[in-house]
Amino acid sequence: MVRNRNSWRRGGGATAGTRSLALKISVLALAALMFSPAMSLSYSGSQQAQPPAQSPRRDAHLIMISIDGMPPDYYTNAAAIGLKVPTLMTMKLGGAYADGVEGVYPAVTYPAHTTLVTGVLPATHGIVQNRIFEPPTEPQTRSWYWFTKAIKVDTLWTAAKKAGLSVGAVGWPVTAGAGIDYNFPEIWDPAEQPITPKRAIENSTPGLVEKVIAGRGTARGDEFRTNVAEYIIKSYKPNLLLVHLIELDDTHHHAGPRSPQAIEVMEKEDGYIGRILQAARDAGIFDSTTVLVVSDHGFASVSKKFEPNVVLARAKLITLDSAGKAISWKAAAWDADGSCAIMLHDPADKETAKQVTDIFTKIAGRDNAPISLVFERKQLDRMGAIPQAAIMLEASPGFYFDDALTGAEIKDADKNYRGTHGYLPSKLEMRSSLMVYGEAARVGARSGVARMIDIAPTGAAILGLDLPRAQGLVLTGLIKQQYVPAPQPDKKRNRKKGGDSLKPSFHD
């Protein structure tokens, strides 16, 4: 997740604690991968497009558990890292998995989680960042894309509800106000210090939190989210349950990936996954349940930050008063830690667009530059990234972006800030995770690097649902044949003749 290192905190729903949601990452090299097939994985030989209609499986259950910020080597190479994760190892040996998942740009929590349930890229589903863009001259509320009304396409939960299936969600991003039967959304008040669960409870299914507390008492963080998930499974046996666990991401930001602290928290997360599986057994639905363990992004280590707004202010594209407050602007940064969108006050202002492109391209050309690449609009369109941006900046290894208006352009990383994300998803450090376990899993199957846009169509296939606008494909190699939709004639690939390899390879 991405948030301001100093003033943003994520409420863990009914957690009474605070959460440092900052995202700051850096990744080495692999710049060539940004222009290689790694950014446009193709599975035409092992996948099939989902047909327009299927029969809902009313006796089937799908639980998607997201461990925020979990890299794939936490299950592919756990022993070498020193991880003791018996639940994940049981799922790996008794199910199917991918060596990694290529996500979306920017590689941050809310765009990724929305892709996980829609099968489309951010430009299509509408959740293009974590935090909503607020011009520098306006009050900085630090609001995120919490409300589901911002999603522009069908989700797994809307498809399930249309088919008459029941749905639950625990801490899943962008679910406030969703038509979900048993919902505990992720939402908080950034002005509260410390953060309280007030807004999460206000936007939850009436009575749900009170029932969980009555049965299990109060708890914090992922302990409470697991309590809620267990309660929903045992009480309601939903066909679809989405669960988002967040503490590993926090730890990676503060201590760095694969640190002793991260190992300790990941082992706790493994225990929470085990409890959710046991709840399905206790509810008598385990034999008809498929579990997808996923994550939204990987992590990279950082030591420096770069301030694009400082550069824009010095170029007179942001005007500051004597107190350093913005009073007018022509261009402004919208940072996502490892990447940063440059927004224009007037999107049609071609002169300013050229000016900012020239400014940041020149910086990227310096020795030891904090910027590795500058993406222009045509490239961003091919990646399905932030349609509102004039350009996007990619941070160099070891760097992340921040949004200060004054001070030095380059600063040391914030104290206790050792890792982040947001970079190009083709970078090795940004790869996320996918495991399939339970009824629909093709036991013993293993794929190479999957695509995040393929996960929602695969979940839909397991439940017999239809996501007609999905850009992804069903991962037929990881699920049993009876759950694979009947093939239909291959559609034309969404790529221009001889097109740029930055463009993801998917069906229209």
Q: Do 121 and 258 belong together in one domain?
A: yes
Domain boundary (415, 442, 458) is at: 415
Report the percent of the chain where pLDDT is more than 70: 85
> Residue 500 has what pLDDT?
32
For residue 477, give both structure tokens.
Answer: 């190699």
Whether the per-residue pLDDT at 349 is higher than 90: the answer is: yes
Q: Do 442 and 379 belong together in one domain?
A: no
Over residues 30-57, the mean pLDDT reads 44
Q: Output phi, psi for 393, to 5 deg.
A: -105, 140
> Residue 218 has what pLDDT?
85
* SS3 of residue 304 by DSSP: strand
Q: Please report, as a single letter, which amino acid is at residue 227.
A: N
CATH of the domain at 359: 3.30.1360
> Residue 264 has what pLDDT?
98
Tell me if the pTM is above 0.85. yes
Q: How far apart are CA 279 and CA 281, in angstroms?
A: 5
Over residues 69-85, the mean pLDDT reads 97
Cis ω before 106 (30° cut-off from 0): yes
- 260-282 and 221-236 are packed helices; what angle lies between their axes, rounded to 10 degrees? 10
Half-sphere exposure of 95 (CA within 13 A, CB side): 23
> Residue 342 has what pLDDT?
98
Q: Looking at the domain assignment, is residue 9 inside a domain?
A: no
Q: Do 269 and 284 belong together in one domain?
A: yes
Q: Do 381 and 446 belong together in one domain?
A: no
> Residue 217 has what pLDDT?
85
Q: Looking at the domain assignment, is residue 31 inside a domain?
A: no
Model pLDDT for residues 382-423, shown as the tens digit of each residue: 999 999 999 999 999 999 999 999 999 999 999 999 999 999
Q: How far apart are CA 92 and CA 444, in angstroms?
A: 8
Q: How many structural domains are present in the chain?
A: 2
Over residues 127-153, the mean pLDDT reads 98
Report the percent of the chain where pLDDT is more than 90: 83
Q: Please report, as a single letter, which amino acid is at residue 446.
A: R
> Residue 52 has what pLDDT?
44
> Residue 49 has what pLDDT?
42
More confident residue, 23 or 136: 136
Q: How far apart are CA 499 and CA 104, in angstroms?
A: 19
Sheet holding 182-184, edge to edge: 182-184, 167-170, 240-245, 61-67, 289-294, 434-438, 96-102, 446-451
Whether the per-residue pLDDT at 318 is higher than 80: the answer is: yes
pLDDT band at 126 (very low <50, low <70, confident <90, very high): very high
Q: Do 254 and 292 belong together in one domain?
A: yes
> Residue 505 has what pLDDT?
33
Q: Looking at the domain assignment, is residue 467 inside a domain?
A: yes
Q: Do 78 and 207 belong together in one domain?
A: yes
Q: How far apart are CA 226 and CA 243, in angstroms?
A: 8
Q: Do 363 and 249 belong together in one domain?
A: no
* SS3 of residue 406 by DSSP: coil
Nearest to 329 by CA among 356, 354, 360: 356
Q: Do 71 and 193 belong together in one domain?
A: yes
Strand bridging mode 167-170 / 182-184: parallel
Q: Do 248 and 110 belong together in one domain?
A: yes
Q: Looking at the domain assignment, is residue 375 inside a domain?
A: yes
Which H/E stretch holds residue 401? strand 398-401
Q: What is the mean pLDDT of the chain?
A: 88
Nearest to 153 by CA among 473, 486, 471, 492: 471
> Residue 504 has what pLDDT?
41
> Residue 168 has what pLDDT?
98
In terms of residue numbers, what domain contains 448? 45-132+142-299+428-483
Model pLDDT for residues 87-96, shown as the tens digit of each residue: 999 999 999 9
More confident residue, 44 or 430: 430
Helix, strand, coil share of the chain (percent; to 5): 30, 20, 50
Over residues 115-125, the mean pLDDT reads 98
Q: Do 292 and 309 belong together in one domain?
A: no
Q: Looking at the domain assignment, is residue 363 inside a domain?
A: yes
User: How many Cβ atoms are within 10 Å of 51's Cβ, its own excluded?
Assistant: 14
> Residue 489 has what pLDDT?
59
Strand bridging mode 398-401 / 300-306: parallel
* SS3 of residue 314 by DSSP: helix
pLDDT band at 13 (very low <50, low <70, confident <90, very high): very low
Q: Looking at the domain assignment, is residue 499 inside a domain?
A: no
Q: Do 405 and 432 belong together in one domain?
A: no
Over residues 106-112, the mean pLDDT reads 98
pLDDT band at 142 (very low <50, low <70, confident <90, very high): very high
pLDDT band at 228 (very low <50, low <70, confident <90, very high): very high
Whether the per-residue pLDDT at 234 is higher than 70: the answer is: yes
pLDDT band at 490 (very low <50, low <70, confident <90, very high): low
User: How many Cβ atoms are within 10 Å of 217's Cβ, its own excluded?
Assistant: 9
Beta bridge partners of 291: 63, 437
CATH of the domain at 289: 3.40.720.10
Domain boundary (415, 438, 458) is at: 415
Whether the per-residue pLDDT at 494 is higher than 70: the answer is: no
Q: Looking at the domain assignment, is residue 10 inside a domain?
A: no
Nearest to 335 by CA among 368, 364, 306, 297: 306
Q: Do 92 and 121 belong together in one domain?
A: yes
Q: Looking at the domain assignment, is residue 2 inside a domain?
A: no
